[in-house]
Amino acid sequence: MKIPFKGAVDCDLHLSAPRMSALLPYMDEYWSDQFSNRHIDRFAFTMSSDNPILPLQWRPDWKAGADEPGSELDRLRSRALDQFGSSIGIVNVIHGAIALYHGDMAAAILRAVNDWTADKVLSQESRLRGSILVSLQDPALAVAEIERLAGNPGFVQVLLPVIGELTIGRRIYWPVFEAASRAGLPICLHAGSLNRHAPTGVGWPSYYVEDYVSQSAGFEASLVSLLAEGVFQKFPDLTFVLAESGVTWMPSFQWRQDKMWLGVRTELPWIDRMPREIIRERVRLTLQPFDAPPDAAIVERLLDHLGSDEMLLFSTDYPHWHFDGDDVVPDGFPTDLLRKIAIDNPHATYGRLRQGGEATKSLEVTA
């Protein structure tokens, strides 16, 4: 179904990663020279699972005009923000530099990506907000990048791929969580892997479909790591947003967490209540791709099993292909809940949206 009112906050939108030629002006003299000198200034740094030539990555009607004059940002404006009546869109620009082993080089590219985002996206479209893309290769550099951009209210979260090198909750990464928490920024774990390990737990796949379907297992593994390592206790103000995670695995995950915790509680005594309560308070999921059958009754039951109406955040995942036409909301969502996931929950999750003011005024019910 369509979204029956205006003013939604679209919590996951995409623009293609800028080419190196567009990033070089945002680099210092050393790195700009190094990329040219090493002949990698034309290298695309495309991640295999995020390749825009893949059908799921670019809906055909949204791809139309990609070769014609006019920018990708203009098309996003009209096809995503205007079309769905969104008051705010959080754009996630994902660049393959997050997978580099060279921590300094990764940081140099990501600084440029973030500055490009601020300059070419956020300052061009007042409805858009950005994510600070960092690499965990050297956590200190990630901290520095968060601190460098924390003063820019256009950035509303810190962006990481969900499958990294080590389990995400480990103490080596805590300085990054601390920096995000201090800046009032949620951490967004987005579908995707650095491919340090096979994306499945049982070996390397042959096909993209295996990679895609296995992502939810990556989200589960990262979430159980955050819980077990005590990140939610250590950083009580930090929210984790799972982007493109799918939703249907979450109820059974909560149940399994609780069941196992009852038996092995003493391993991690800092978990002081049922894990599902912690998850419901501190974890948010973007709507698309929604992975339930197209059956309103099943969707309603699933939403009930989530156990909270505060966990979901509206998203189109533009321009990825998860739905046709304007039917961005799966059938079975009651309008009251939809208003919550499209407006209230994003504003509760992203403190910086509340400070923005302007974007919250445009709520206008049309149905």
Partner 1 sequence: MIRHIVAKTAEIPAGTHRIVDVSGRQVGVFNVNGEFFALLNRCPHGGAELCKGAVTALVQPSGVGQYAVSRKGEFLRCPWHGWEFEIRSGQSYCDPARIKARKIDVAVERGEELVKGPYVAESYDVTVEDDYVVLSL
Contact positions vs partner 1 (CB under 8 A): 171, 229-230, 233-234, 261-266, 269-272, 274
**Spatial CA neighbour of 233 closest among 186, 167, 282, 190:** 282
Rg (the chain; Cα; Å): 20
What residue type is 181 in one-letter code? S
Comparing CB distances to partner 1, the nearer of 148 and 259 is 259
Comparing CB distances to partner 1, the nearer of 40 and 264 is 264
Smallest gap from Cβ 240 to partner 1, in A, equals: 16
Comparing CB distances to partner 1, the nearer of 275 and 346 is 275
Query: To which H or E segment does residue 356 belong?
Result: helix 351-356
Smallest gap from Cβ 269 to partner 1, in A, equals: 4
- Region for 317 from its dihedrals, namely left if φ exceeds 0, alpha if ψ lies in -120 to 50, beta otherwise: left
Comparing CB distances to partner 1, the nearer of 169 and 346 is 169
Comparing CB distances to partner 1, the nearer of 38 and 273 is 273
3-state helix, strand, coil in the chain (%, to 5): 50, 15, 40
Smallest gap from Cβ 259 to partner 1, in A, equals: 9
Comparing CB distances to partner 1, the nearer of 6 and 170 is 170
Q: Round to whole Å and give the CA distance between 207 and 209.
A: 5
- Rounded to a whole number of angstroms, the distance between the first and last alpha carbons of the chain is 12
Smallest gap from Cβ 264 to partner 1, in A, equals: 6
Q: CB–CB of 345/11 below 8 Å? A: no
Smallest gap from Cβ 270 to partner 1, in A, equals: 5
Alpha helices in 72-173 (DSSP H): 72-76, 83-84, 103-116, 139-149
* All residues at 6 or more sequence positions from 196 whose CB lies less than 8 Å from its CB, including other chains: 164, 165
* All residues at 6 or more sequence positions from 89 whose CB lies less than 8 Å from its CB, including other chains: 9, 10, 13, 76, 80, 81, 127, 128, 129
Comparing CB distances to partner 1, the nearer of 151 and 263 is 263
Number of H helices, E strands in the chain: 16, 10
Number of Cβ atoms within 10 Å of the Cβ of 191:
26
Comparing CB distances to partner 1, the nearer of 107 and 179 is 179
Which structure tokens are listed for 55? 């059908």
Comparing CB distances to partner 1, the nearer of 148 and 265 is 265
Q: Round to whole Å and give the CA distance between 289 and 300.
A: 17
Smallest gap from Cβ 234 to partner 1, in A, equals: 5
CA 351 to chain centre: 16
User: What DSSP string runs through 156-173?
Assistant: EEEEEEEE-SS-TTSGGG
